[in-house]
Chain A
Amino acid sequence: MITEHATEWLGFPVRLFAPEEAGEKPVDWSRTIFRLALDWDATMDFTELFAAFLEQPGVEQTPAIVIGKFFAESPEDTAEEVVESLVTARECLPALRGIFLGDLVSEECEVSWINQTDVSPLFTAYPGLEHLRLRGTNRLSLGRRPRHARLRSLTIETGGLPPALLGEVLAGDFPALETLELWLGTPSYGGDVTLLDLQSLLSGKLFPRLRHLGLRDSELADALAAGLAGAPILEQLEGLDLSLGNLGDAGGAALLANPALRRLQRLNLRHHYLSPRVARALQQALPFVDVAEAQDSQTPEEDRYVAVGE
């Protein structure tokens, strides 16, 4: 379950943009990220809020933008209008390097109910974009063969990653991509990706600069861990993130038996079902591993939930 809005991103503090308070306090625009979001009882729509944001003196320095709830009450509105607004505003935001679209907590909208859209127009409109973070995969598309020369990180957060969307990511031409984070989720929410679908990614041939790979929130965590045995991609990685999923001792043993993991700098396994014994063995073998947020390792397999379903 997602319970908190972003408070910092890309090393900058994230502040809620409140149009009625704008201009009251001085803002260091080049070092502040604003979060644009409609309240549950908002009286304006997103385009009005965005227009008020663009009128702020200094907005041209903004390094990144976080978009929260972009629809009024009904989640039936998609993010299409948001993407259109951003595309139209491209000349007002010349310093923009990061876009986080969909910073909603489950108290506002279940992640599986967030209606995204085709975000590929952003790639064309913002050639300087380096970081794209998306939450919710309903109607989400990156375009059939997305390409972006500067994109360094791509994150897709969901309770279930559709295989078709994974296909778009893997078909992408992202020569600068260093960090790829995909939440796989569960089949109950369309997360039907299998290990087979990930083979081309694990081959290491797709993204030459990739250093950090996250395959998070997965109900297939044990199979993923086993599938990493001999995976060529490990040779180029510095960080691997298998957190938020249902990793158990079978997966833990597979990680222990994988010598290629020893040269990593970070291994995130937070939120797991490892027994204390296997967790300790991992800490001894891989001192950089993070095994916090242990779930009850006695939980029967069918009740081992991922951290973000719905």
Chain B
Amino acid sequence: MEGFSQALGRLRRQRPRLVPWLWVAGRVPWEHLLPDGLPHLRLESPGRNWPVEQQLLLRGADLAEPEGEGRWRRWSAGAVAALSLDPGRVLPMRQWFLGWRATLEELTAWANRTGGAGRWLTPPAQVLLMGDKAACQAALEGAGVPVPPALGVPRDFDDLWELMRQAGRSRVFLKPCHGSSASGVVALEAGRGGVQAFSTLELTAAEGEVRLYNRRRIQVWRGLTEVRRLVSAVVAERCLAQVWVPKAGLAGGPFDLRVVVIGGRARQVMVRLGRGPLTNSLLGGGKAEVAAVQERMGPAGWARLLTVCEQTMARAFPGALSAGLDVLVEPDFRTVRVLEVNAFGDLLPRLLHEGRDTYSWEVLAANGAAPAQVSATGA
């Protein structure tokens, strides 16, 4: 939020009007904070804010799944209200998303009522699409974007096993549909040598239940019993099973790229090095790595990669001002595939493209007066 506000002040001498997520999610009247006729509306990430998270979970507690959806892990409103912050703990992701979706739909309705429908820098519907990996995968496939093939959304471990068998795939990623970065992601491989999985998750038994925690360290789970226990816990959050397409590596380990597309152009690029199959921005590489990848891909290959990112946004998310794409390069350093599209993937402070950070490019690309912001922190 600060980054964008600062960029707005620097480049436009304007300040955004801010609305705290806590008010919107908790249905505290907030409409009076915004005067009529604001040229732009911008959604900020609601993340890393415990009261907002709790509010979204509360909101999701009463919401039913649409027809045909599975039975994902849910908590009662009472259980959510009784929670206190427990760092790293994985809370019911699907329930959170239902609350988030209801909140964004309410905002959409408000904007439609007040003539703001065309003012979103990124429309809430596209933020929601990016926030559901299964739906996003379908949208990318429909738009002809190169992606790793998906096997589906397994109900449980046996279902996943059957999906793998049918597809003839022994290496898959299991990605929580509503998770961000590497949160809850499991890399699973099976073969005659047995089965094993990599994840930053930790399972603990407490108060008669199994709890999932995200940790920084990647753990290896070996053998069917162990892997089944892990997978059973994770699939309850609603996960997309995707073929594990091998990643190219640099000396330090396999990598993928975060490419921020703003206003239709690929701008900031960051290399994300992993010590194992999982990569995320915590394990980021520096400029040296970007140059190394560029060199290995060659100018034409690099240009093709940026074009894929720009086309992804143009074809699948035409109304979105910006997004952070996670992109895989195969070990041949030629083939690229889009892994994920992150609505709030612009958080790369200090990383400059042609002398400007992501927020400055967003302000310039929005090309208008001060947008209002719906913000996690308020002001």
What band does the interface of chain B fall in when counting residues whose beta carbon is under 8 Å from A? 20 to 34
Name B's interface SS: loop
Contact present for A3 and B189 (CB under 8 Å): no
Chain B residues in 8 Å Cβ range of A113 = 189, 191, 193
Q: Once the chains are docked, how many angstroms separate the CA of A107 from the CA of B254?
A: 7
CA distance A39 to B254 in the complex (A): 17
Known A4-B249, A4-B251: A73·B169 in contact at CB below 8 Å: yes
Count, A-B residue pairs, CB within 8 A? 65
Give residues 56-84 of A contacting B (CB, 8 Å): 72-76
Task: Tell me the smallest distance from the CB of B110 to a CB of chain A, in Å.
Answer: 46
Q: If A40-B243, A73-B169, A107-B247 touch, does A115 touch B253 (CB 8 Å cutoff)?
A: no
Interface mask (A25-66 → B, CB under 8 Å = 1, otherwise 0): 000000000000001110000000000000000000000000
| Residue contact B254 to A73, C-beta cutoff 8 Å | no
Residue of B nearest to A112 (CB): B193
Q: Which of B169, B193, B243, B250 contacts A3 (CB 8 A)?
A: B250
**Contact present for B277 and A107 (CB under 8 Å):** yes
Q: If the complex has contacts A1-B275, A3-B250, A76-B192, are A105 and B169 also in contact, measured as CB distance less than 8 A?
A: no
**Does A16 belong to the interface (CB within 8 Å)?**
yes
Residues facing B in A95-132 (CB within 8 A) are 105-108, 110, 112-113, 115
Which A residue's beta carbon lies closest to that of B191? A75
Chain A: how many interface residues by the 8 Å CB criterion? 23
CA–CA, A113 to B171, complex, Å? 12
Within 8 Å CB of B246, what residues of A?
40, 105, 107-108
For A112, list chain B residues within 8 Å (CB): 193
Give A221 to B122 CA distance when docked, in angstroms. Answer: 56
Interface residue SS majority, chain A:
loop
> Nearest Cβ in chain A — how far from B359, in angstroms?
33
Interface set, chain B 246-286, CB cutoff 8 A to A: 246-254, 275-277
Is A5 in contact with chain B by the CB < 8 A criterion? yes
> Which of B191, B252, B331 is in CB contact (< 8 Å) with A74?
B191
Which of A41, A107, A138 has most chain B Cβ within 10 Å?
A107
Chain A residues with Cβ under 8 A from B245's Cβ?
40-41
Within 8 A of A (CB), among B212-262: 243, 245-254
C-alpha spacing A112/B247, complex, angstroms: 19
Judge whether B332 is part of the interface by a CB distance below 8 angstroms: yes
6 of the cross-chain contacts (CB-CB < 8 Å) are: A1-B276, A4-B248, A41-B245, A105-B254, A107-B248, A107-B254
The 3 closest A-B pairs by CB, nearest first: A3-B249, A107-B246, A75-B191
Contact residues of B with A, CB < 8 Å? 149, 168-171, 189, 191-193, 243, 245-254, 275-277, 330-332
